[in-house]
Amino acid sequence: MKLVLFDCDGTLVDSQHVIVAAMGRAFARAELAMPPREAVLGIVGLSLVEAMQRLGEDDPRFPAERLAELYREAFRELRTEPNFSEPMFPGMRGLIDRLAARDDLLLGIATGKSQRGVAAVLAHHGLEGRFVTIQTADDAPSKPHPAMVLQAMAATGAEPMDTVLIGDTSFDMVMARAAGARAIGVSWGYHAPDLLTQSGAERLATDADELQRAIDELWETVA
């Protein structure tokens, strides 16, 4: 049995606008200058405290934990507003439905979101029950530590070479490789394609159809 793991933000759903908005509220409430948009998107995928530490350039005086809590509060507020949106990227809903219907694959998620955040995304898009393992920042160290992938494999009985992680950041690629798993990068997320390749992506997909082909062909490359 093969295990196909998906990152969430930047891979399944486009959450950049709400992430930047929540970050802006968090920094404003902490009376700190908002980092550049590029810097904020560059840390998407990390667990919140780790992300804030990076935005604070690892200064021990930087209030990373406080900012993480302010961000959580702001995100929860934004989720209740009428114009809130975390749309799935084009073609990804159909791809998930097709993969979930196969009897040779299991699907999972490995994300820096919380379990609560993932549950909200899946409920909003009607994707409950598609993923047999959901690994989050609540359950493991931040990416690129391999724990999320290792735990997903342990939960499903999948072997490393029968597991692939699909993600949009270098953190995803490094995490997959550190766990001995395969890695496919997607170009529509928050890190540049060249960085994904340098970080261990075996294949790059530019749309959902290409991603489907990459998954279908991936294990044919195993010697």
Per-residue confidence (pLDDT) for residue 174, from 0 to 100: 98
DSSP letters, 184-197, are EEETTSSS-HHHHH
The answer on 57 and 43 residing in a single domain is: yes
CA atoms within 13 A on the CB side of 70: 17
201 touches 170 (CB < 8 A): no
The answer on 193 and 102 residing in a single domain is: yes
The answer on 103 and 59 residing in a single domain is: no
The answer on 107 and 172 residing in a single domain is: yes
| Tens digits of residue pLDDT in 40-95 | 999 998 899 999 999 998 888 999 999 999 999 999 999 899 888 899 999 999 99
The answer on 113 and 73 residing in a single domain is: no
The answer on 111 and 158 residing in a single domain is: yes
Q: Which residues are catalytic?
A: 7, 9
Q: How many C-beta atoms lie closer than 10 Å to residue 90's C-beta? A: 12
Could you give the CA distance from residue 102 to residue 107 in angstroms, rounded to a whole number?
10
Per-residue confidence (pLDDT) for residue 221, from 0 to 100: 55
| pTM to 2 decimal places | 0.92
Choose the final residue of a domain: 25, 52, 79. 79
Confidence of residue 223 (pLDDT cuts 50, 70, 90): very low
CATH number at 163 reads: 3.40.50.1000
The answer on 90 and 70 residing in a single domain is: no
To the nearest whole percent, how much of the chain has pLDDT over 90? 90
Confidence of residue 219 (pLDDT cuts 50, 70, 90): confident
Q: State the amino acid at position 125 in one-letter form.
A: H
Choose the final residue of a domain: 79, 97, 116. 79
Per-residue confidence (pLDDT) for residue 220, from 0 to 100: 78
The answer on 113 and 216 residing in a single domain is: yes
Per-residue confidence (pLDDT) for residue 196, from 0 to 100: 97
The answer on 194 and 121 residing in a single domain is: yes
The answer on 107 and 44 residing in a single domain is: no
Q: Which tokens hold the place of 183?
A: 């890695």
The answer on 108 and 61 residing in a single domain is: no
Looking up tokens 């486009």, which residue turns up? 14
Q: Which residues pair with 134 in a beta bridge?
A: 109
Task: Please compute the mean of the pLDDT values over residues 161-165 and round it to a whole number.
Answer: 97
Q: Which tokens hold the place of 110?
A: 């490995």
Residues contacting residue 106 through CB under 8 Å, at least 6 positions apart:
1, 2, 3, 4, 132, 133, 156, 158
Answer yes or no: is pLDDT of 222 > 70. Answer: no
| Tens digits of residue pLDDT in 86-110 | 999 999 999 999 999 999 999 999 9
Per-residue confidence (pLDDT) for residue 83, from 0 to 100: 86
The answer on 45 and 60 residing in a single domain is: yes
Residue-range definition of the domain harbouring residue 25 = 16-79
Choose the final residue of a domain: 38, 55, 79. 79
Could you give the CA distance from residue 102 to residue 79 in angstroms, rounded to a whole number?
33
Q: Which of 146, 150, 124 is nearest to 200 (CA)?
A: 146
Q: Provide the domain count of the chain.
A: 2
Task: Please compute the mean of the pLDDT values over residues 18-29 and round it to a whole number.
Answer: 96
